[in-house]
Amino acid sequence: MPQSGEREGDEEKMYQFDGKRVVVTGGSRGIGAAIAREFSARGARVAIVARDAERARAAAAALGPNAAAFAAHVADETAVNDTFGAIAERFGGIDILVNNAGITRDNLLMRMKGEDWDEVMATNLRGTFLCARAALRPMLKQRAGRIVNVTSVIGLIGNAGQGNYAASKAGIIAFTKSLAKEVASRGITANAVAPGLIATEMTSAMSGEAQKNVLAGIPLGRFGAPEDVAAAVLFLASDAAAYITGEVLRVDGGLAM
């Protein structure tokens, strides 16, 4: 039987990504930036895809020479196909895709504009589809790959004033499960991470009273950190999760329990 030191060494290797080619959409800030940093710190080559070219370049520069920036709107089919083609050519393939790009346009349903619905569905759901499809081309040739889609607990429980966001994130969950069944035979896994309330620009803008009310519904009594979500993403992308596919992993402090 392996000794404890050997087991620890094997476990540590599972969370190393030396030379792995990783794409993170929405990787220039918040949760996406944390995911990109964690992969880079573990030896991965990281492509950051973001709509804002300047932000993408700054985020990639902060990671060093093994990171590259690509500007694209994930809802634009031509831009996505061209971008992922450029990434695969530069890196020689794609091993891991993290679909993290997403937006909100919150409002009560009777006040919600049609364009607010369309923009959220285009970025969050259509963007996930387009990027997954583009990444699958090199993954299918390799007969290996990991796709991790960032959804939300709102896609599981709903939320007043977020009908468009909830629908898009619930759609990502169903899409992930369907994708997992399609590509499993080719050595590719597809899973989702569902964050709860994470300490980002959005939560920092909330009033003290609003934060207090929200925290009352979280059993662990705190907002999550972007690094909490990144840890879950890295697990699902690692060898430790080789036998997990079609799963939704909540990172919410118990909010949706």
Chain-centroid distance, C-alpha 110 = 30
The CA-atom distances, in angstroms, between 231 and each of 34, 101, 225, 227 are 9, 17, 10, 6
Residue 52 pLDDT greater than 60, yes or no: yes
Residue 14 binned pLDDT confidence (cut-offs 50, 70, 90): confident
- What is the pLDDT, as a whole number, of residue 213? 86
Known catalytic membership, residue 15: no
The CA-atom distances, in angstroms, between 192 and each of 149, 198, 235 are 5, 16, 11
Contact criterion met (CB below 8 Å) for 138 and 93: yes
Tell which wins on pLDDT, 16 or 191: 191
Residue 12 binned pLDDT confidence (cut-offs 50, 70, 90): low
Residue 150 pLDDT greater than 60, yes or no: yes
Q: Give me the mean pLDDT over the 75-84 stretch.
A: 98
From the list 129, 165, 175, 223, the catalytic residue is 165
Residue 202 binned pLDDT confidence (cut-offs 50, 70, 90): low
Q: Give me the mean pLDDT over the 151-168 stretch.
A: 96
Contact criterion met (CB below 8 Å) for 224 and 253: yes
Per-residue pLDDT of 218-234, as tens digits, reads 999 999 999 999 999 99
Structure tokens at 187: 């050595």
**Alpha helices per DSSP H over 72-225:** 77-91, 114-120, 127-142, 154-157, 163-183, 201-204, 208-215
Residue 3 pLDDT greater than 80, yes or no: no
Residue 164 binned pLDDT confidence (cut-offs 50, 70, 90): very high
Residue 10 binned pLDDT confidence (cut-offs 50, 70, 90): low
Phi first, then psi: give them for residue 183, nearest 5 degrees.
-110, 0
Q: How many CA atoms lie within 13 A of 23 on its CB side?
A: 36
Q: Would you give the DSSP letter of residue 252?
A: S
